[in-house]
Amino acid sequence: MTNNKTLYFEGAGWFGADSSKATDVKNCRIRTAFTNNEGKKIYLEILQGNIYNQKKKNQVEKYYIHIDSIFYITDDPEIDDCNESRIKHDWLEIKNNYNYTVEDITKVINNLCNTDFNNIVTLPDLAGYRVHREKGGYNLANDFIYDKELTEKREEIKKYFYELEKSEDKKYPNFSLWVDQEDKNILHLLRHFNGYNKHWTINTDIENWLDSLKETKLGKYAC
């Protein structure tokens, strides 16, 4: 959440899917965590539902909002928030009366969560926002600062390795690139080879990031 009342979401689905491209939400599955006007913390995950034409089975008549999870975050280890702290809602009313659009999702959130957002934004993968912390708990969108310029630099790095793998005769480039949760200037690169993986870190805070490429032990993913 920012001063202009925009709520950020992590894109949890595939950005390249046809369904993700079908609406201005830009992803078929989105999730976030935030603080409402009462100071209560909330986790929210929304899926894109499809209603198909009865006569033309492959034609979607409507993309609707399906709330997969919505609950208060209590930070109490004795409470199963997902089941015990759920925010009640009429899923059928939402399905029938709202579309899977930025405008309607914003309305539904404000109605259910005691918020006054003006807008929602689904951030690209390399923006670095992840709802779930690596060691448990949640990263609140309230605390996240979106750096468009840095995100674009990360995407240029991704393009570099995509083209590198294509030049190595890989029909389908297969690597992972993600932002470190502790240091926004560090990228993790995981490349997959026949029978083994390799992991590197990249420092985006220098002009020639390629000079910072350093192979490191990840401690998982067999590398």
Q: Which tens digit of pLDDT belongs to each residue from 114-138? A: 999 999 999 999 999 999 998 899 9
Mean per-residue pLDDT of the chain = 93
CA distance 125 to 53: 32
Say what the pLDDT of residue 221 is: 52
Q: How far is CA 3 from CA 91, 116, 208, in A?
A: 30, 11, 34
Q: What is the pLDDT of residues 60-76, one digit of tens each?
A: 889 999 999 999 999 99
Residues above pLDDT 70, as percent of the chain:
96
pLDDT at 2 over 60: no
List Cβ neighbours of 64 (8 Å cut-off, separation of 6 or more): 48, 49, 50, 51, 94, 95, 96, 98, 99, 100
**How far is Cα of residue 139 from the mean position of the Cα atoms in its chain?**
12
pLDDT at 1 over 70: no
pLDDT at 139 over 50: yes
Alpha helices by DSSP H, listed for the chain, are 81-84, 91-97, 102-113, 148-167
Which of 67, 107, 115 is closest to 89 using CA atoms?
A: 67
Say what the pLDDT of residue 134 is: 86
Q: What is the pLDDT of residues 7-23, one digit of tens each?
A: 999 999 989 888 899 99
- Pairing relation of β-strands 29-35 and 6-11? antiparallel
Say what the pLDDT of residue 220 is: 60
Say what the pLDDT of residue 53 is: 80
Say what the pLDDT of residue 194 is: 86
Q: What is the pLDDT of residues 149-163, one digit of tens each?
A: 999 999 999 999 999
Residue 221 DSSP class: T
Q: Is the dihedral of CA 130, 134, 140, 143 positive or negative?
A: negative
pLDDT at 223 over 80: no
Task: Specify the 3-state DSSP secondary structure of 211.
Answer: helix
Q: How confident is the model at residue 202 (pLDDT cuts 50, 70, 90)?
A: very high
